[in-house]
Amino acid sequence: MKAFHEVRSYDSDFMVWHSSYQDISFLAHWHQEIEFIFVRSGSAHLSINEHNFTAHKGDLVVIDTGDFHYSDSSKMKNVLDFIIFDTSILSSLYNHSHFASPLVSASELKRYGMEKDVLALFADVSRELKEKEPYYKEIVTARLRDFWYLLKRKRPQSCQDMTSENKRMSLLYDMQQLLSYMDEHYADNITLTYAAEKMNFSESHFSKVFKKLIGINFVTYLNMVRVEQAAARLKNTSSRVTDVALNCGFNNVRTFNRVFKEITGYTPSQFLKLTDPDSYNLTYYKRKSSDQEFVENDSLTLIKNET
């Protein structure tokens, strides 16, 4: 399961992706690529690592490799443009940018003289990826590199000393490893105490750090992982509900039924009667409304905001 470590599928070996969405949020995840989010209209509340903020029309958000990020914008209207690209587009020896803040406001872009640059970047990348004319890869690469290094020239970097920055990066790495472990060992008795010990934190400190980075608490995250696995087994095997529950880390069927309905909106028996055979693929995403939007050919999981 790669719910929160996003592994993106590309049309070819050229690892650049673009899309635009209206009125969406997304749950916490991380990936190796760099991500640009441009707010075309409206507002979006985002969290990138320790930074929590609301981005408005004309703002650019920069998410570097390995950064945890999510958007909890269920009460907001927005149109967001995304560009996601592999770090090798910039350099085979790429290092984290360490920008002081992931939010580049519209006023900052204006001060940098980059208002037109950001609009041109998204327009050019979108057009080139769609039309795929000769040398489109080279053109997109050139556009991304030019914009990136111009932004680095203008944008201040973190003023943290090397020791503090290394601790921060170590924390993010350890959290990535913990989530990967949970993905693999969801059926085991993974307690809050156990997870905190793996991070070398007290339980209270671990809970605060986990909620800040992931946007939901530890137990909810673990239950989402388990329910996704359980849903897949219910749809794809003839196993009994009791066996599925126990094999996915739940102590009893009653708890399983309750948690399954909380996360998917259905009891296991109702879920088995759904007409959409692929609905289980996304059940681990907590519902913010009764209407979710899943985008074809897109591994980014979006939650359609309430109207």
287-300 pLDDT tens trace: 332 333 333 334 44
291, part of any domain: no
- The reply to whether 39 falls in a domain is yes
Please list the residues that pair with 35 across neighbouring strands: 63, 84
Q: What is the pLDDT of residues 185-212, one digit of tens each?
A: 999 999 999 999 999 999 999 999 998 8
* Spatial distance between the Cα atoms of 305 and 85, rounded to a whole number of angstroms: 26
Task: Please say if the pLDDT value at position 2 is more than 80.
Answer: no
Domain boundary among 107, 123, 154: 154
Whether residue 184 is contained in a domain is answered as no
- Confidence check: pLDDT of 306 > 60: no
20-38, pLDDT tens digit by residue?
988 887 777 888 899 999 9
Out of 67-76, 144-153, 221-230, least confident range: 67-76
**Are 105 and 46 spatial neighbours (Cβ–Cβ below 8 Å)?**
no
Tokens of 195: 């997870």
Please tell me whether residues 124 and 230 are part of one structural domain.
no
Domain count, the chain: 2
Q: Please report, for the domain that includes residue 47, its CATH number.
A: 2.60.120.280
Classify residue 306: in a domain, yes or no.
no
**Domain limits at 225?**
220-285
Note the pTM of the prediction, 2 decimals: 0.74
| Pair (36, 132) in one structural domain | yes
pLDDT digits (tens, 9 = 90+) for 148-199: 999 999 998 776 666 776 787 788 889 888 988 998 999 999 999 999 999 9
Q: How much is the pLDDT for 212?
A: 84
Judgement on whether residues 150 and 20 belong to the same structural domain of the protein: yes
At 127 the pLDDT is 97
pLDDT attached to residue 284: 33
One domain, residues 148 and 270: no
pLDDT at 235: 86
